[in-house]
Amino acid sequence: MVATAEMPAAVLPRAILANLSVGIVGAGIGGLATAVGLAGRGFKRVTVYESAPEVGEVGAGIQVAPNFCRVLGHFGVFDRLKAQAVRLEGASVRRYSDNEQINSTSFASLEEEYGAPTYVVHRADLHKALLDRALELGATLQTNAHVEGVNFEKTELKLQGRPALSHDLIIAADGIKSGIRGQMMARRGEVDETIPTGEAAYRVILPRRVMESDPELKALIDAPIATRWIGPDAHVVAYPIKAQEAFNIVTTHISNTVGLTEDWTARASKDIMLKRFDGWTETLLKCLRLAPPGELVEWALRIHLPLTGWIDNHTVLLADAAHATLPHIAQGAAQAGEDAAVLSTLLAKCQTKEDIPAALRMYERLRKPRADWAVEMARITGENLHMADGAAQKARDEALKRAAAGGKSPDRWGDKDTQRRLYGLDVVKQADQEYARL
Ligand SMILES: Cc1cc2nc3c(=O)[nH]c(=O)nc-3n(C[C@H](O)[C@H](O)[C@H](O)COP(=O)(O)OP(=O)(O)OC[C@H]3O[C@@H](n4cnc5c(N)ncnc54)[C@H](O)[C@@H]3O)c2cc1C
Ligand SMILES: *[C@@H]1O[C@H](CO)[C@@H](O)[C@H](O)[C@H]1NC(C)=O
Ligand SMILES: *[C@@H]1O[C@H](CO)[C@@H](O)[C@H](O)[C@H]1NC(C)=O
């Protein structure tokens, strides 16, 4: 049972703050979630600026972990997502070469323990649900609105070919390549750089009809299970999406990423992909061979080291701009959702504009250690999953087996302690309690 209690429509103590003008840069999952959070709390002047001529999320499937389900419930978005979602009943970790199951985790207990299971959806459905909700609540979206920079003294946005736009608060949700983060760091004398992880990702989405004639593949798409094949320098995650009408496969592999961009639209060669997974189980290869060649994409995975801070006067960073992560524990968008929920909860408590800096500091204090930790857990998981065959790999596999009986898992996604920390915290409740103590 997901908590679907929606945020009350108008909870702002003072009309003056309802008219606070908030500029959000970026209409990704982070920016739109923030627009929903703020508009849902009664802020009436929320504008999202997006460079792209139109918004429509590209990309693959995405896991909506219990902590993210909870946030989407608060936002009033969860229920409309459900029709397109698949409720995962478990995850299976398999050996790359022979498809042998190393172990499996049931997700049944997640719902008992945390009030929500893990769902998987197509990102486009999640993105659209957030966008529709933001607009319905009165937020404004401007597309073709490329922000060239911020004036941190004046809280102004500089848009291409337009006079400066003044706001009371600027929220930078401009993604891993955030220009605003770079500007903020430069003001502190720091150099902003994202770090190549050496990992890249292929994404393949198969329609149900191409899998149905093969009983083994049909069984894959019919089971509400996430499969992870783990092998030397790579692992592959696969699960059904779109109410089991499509099958989502994402590989992450150590790759020569020179020349690869982080762009999710970069076309890739199917032959090279098949060669890369030569020697992997026929079950996976059958799927990869079915990849529609014109739609195959590969992109480089980068991360960012923890920042010294997320705030510069009345401008704050949020989501990937603040804590870009590897995808290995499926928390990038989930942490973005938590950022949005916490920031909007705290801002809604401000009585006057003078309260805002303290609310921003509390946002950073509550969010930054948690998000930075999640980034580190994802990095460790990648290292642990990509081992070459040998003694270390055998020890890892034993640990994975033991973990099902309660031991610490090298795969932090399936690790009980990590799950407790990630899924067990209601960040909105935490923000309420912390603010009350101010
Ligand atoms: C392979 C992969 C799998 C993943 N799987 C999961 C998962 O299962 N679960 C999960 O929770 N997370 C997952 N994530 C992470 C998740 O996708 C991201 O953390 C999340 O989408 C970040 O959203 P964002 O809003 O910060 O950035 P983005 O989605 O990158 O959005 C940024 C937006 O800002 C716009 N923009 C940028 N600069 C400007 C500018 N100057 N002016 C105006 N607009 C601008 C861009 O056009 C873009 O629309 C995965 C990531 C990857 C790479
Ligand atoms: C998973 O681990 C548990 C506990 O060690 C064990 O009982 C079970 O048989 C394992 N399952 C598989 C499929 O290996
Ligand atoms: C912070 O922003 C406010 C309002 O935009 C401005 O008056 C103030 O001078 C700024 N302070 C700094 C240190 O930039």
Distance 201 CA to ligand 1 centre (A): 15
Q: What six digits make up the tokens of 355? A: 């309260």
Domain end residue (candidates: 267, 283, 303) = 303
Evaluate if residue 30 carries a pLDDT over 80. yes
Of 377, 363, 370, which Cα lies nearest the Cα of 409? Answer: 377
| Cβ-Cβ contacts under 8 Å for 369 (sequence gap 6 or more) | none
154 lines ligand 3 (CB under 6 A): yes
Residue 103: phi and psi, rounded to 5, are: -165, 170
* Closest ligand to residue 320's CA: 1
First vs last C-alpha separation in the chain: 32
Contact (CB, 8 A) for 148 and 87:
no
The length of the chain, given as a count of residues: 438
Which ligand 1 atom is at minimum distance from the Cα of 55? 49
430 lines ligand 2 (CB under 6 A): no
189 with 219, same domain: the answer is: no
Separation between Cα atoms, residue 29 and residue 125, nearest integer Å: 11
Distance 405 CA to ligand 2 centre (A): 8
Separation between Cα atoms, residue 316 and residue 142, nearest integer Å: 20
Q: What six digits make up the tokens of 191? A: 């150099």
Domain end residue (candidates: 266, 287, 303) = 303
Q: pLDDT (tens digit, 9 = 90+) per residue, 116-134?
A: 999 999 999 999 999 999 9
Is residue 203 part of the annotated active site? The answer reads yes
72 lines ligand 1 (CB under 6 A): no
Of 222, 219, 152, 211, which Cα lies nearest the Cα of 181? Answer: 152
Residue 95, in any domain of the structure: no
Q: Can you give the CATH number for the domain in which 80 is found?
A: 3.50.50.60
Other CB atoms closer than 10 Å to residue 328's CB: what's the count? 26
171 with 259, same domain: the answer is: no
201 lines ligand 1 (CB under 6 A): yes
Given the structure tokens 């995850």, which residue do they identify? 91
* Closest ligand to residue 176's CA: 1
Over range 203-213, report the average pLDDT.
95
Distance 392 CA to ligand 2 centre (A): 20
Give how far Cα 133 sits from Cα of 23, 80, 119, 130, 247, Å.
17, 10, 19, 5, 27
354 lines ligand 3 (CB under 6 A): no
Contact (CB, 8 A) for 48 and 140:
yes
Residue scoring higher pLDDT (257 or 69): 69
Residue 146, in any domain of the structure: yes
Residue 316, in any domain of the structure: yes
Over range 95-115, report the average pLDDT.
92
Mutate to test the pocket of ligand 3, among 21, 153, 312 (most ligand atoms within 8 A of CB): 153
* Closest ligand to residue 182's CA: 1
The active-site residue, picked from 70, 94, 123, 203, is 203
Predicted confidence band of residue 405 (pLDDT cuts 50, 70, 90): confident
The string of DSSP codes covering 221-276 is HHS-EEEEEEETTEEEEEEEEGGGTEEEEEEEEE---TT--S-TT-B--HHHHHHH
Distance 98 CA to ligand 1 centre (A): 34
Separation between Cα atoms, residue 36 and residue 25, nearest integer Å: 14
Q: pLDDT (tens digit, 9 = 90+) per residue, 122-170?
A: 999 999 999 999 999 999 999 999 999 999 999 999 998 899 999 999 9
Contact (CB, 8 A) for 159 and 147:
yes
Longest dimension (CA), the chain: 65
**pLDDT at site 115:** 92
353 with 428, same domain: the answer is: yes
Based on the number of CB atoms within 10 Å of its own CB, is 53 exposed (0-12), middle (13-18) or buried (19 or more)?
exposed
428 with 341, same domain: the answer is: yes
Contact (CB, 8 A) for 88 and 224:
yes
Distance 106 CA to ligand 2 centre (A): 11
Strands (E), 264-317: 297-303, 311-312, 315-317
95 lines ligand 2 (CB under 6 A): no
Of 163, 169, 122, which Cα lies nearest the Cα of 21? Answer: 169
Predicted confidence band of residue 298 (pLDDT cuts 50, 70, 90): confident
64 with 162, same domain: the answer is: yes
Evaluate if residue 3 carries a pLDDT over 80. no
160 with 293, same domain: the answer is: no
105 lines ligand 2 (CB under 6 A): no
Report the predicted TM-score, pTM, of the whole model to 2 decimal places. 0.93
**pLDDT at site 16:** 65
334 with 430, same domain: the answer is: yes
Domain end residue (candidates: 303, 318, 350) = 303
Distance 57 CA to ligand 1 centre (A): 9
Of all protein residues, the one whose alpha carbon is nearest to atom 9 of ligand 1 is 330
Whole-number average pLDDT of the chain: 92
The count of structural domains within the chain is: 2
Q: pLDDT (tens digit, 9 = 90+) per residue, 47-59?
A: 999 999 988 767 7
Of all protein residues, the one whose alpha carbon is nearest to atom 2 of ligand 1 is 327
281 lines ligand 2 (CB under 6 A): no
Q: Which domain holds residue 296?
A: 195-303
Q: Can you give the CATH number for the domain in which 217 is found?
A: 3.30.9.30
Given the structure tokens 């603010």, which residue do they identify? 435
* Closest ligand to residue 101's CA: 2
Residue 100, in any domain of the structure: no
222 with 232, same domain: the answer is: yes
356 with 327, same domain: the answer is: yes
**pLDDT at site 10:** 47
129 with 77, same domain: the answer is: yes
Cα angle at 283 between 278 and 286, to 5 degrees? 70
60 with 123, same domain: the answer is: yes
Residue 73: phi and psi, rounded to 5, are: -60, -45
Evaluate if residue 438 carries a pLDDT over 90. no
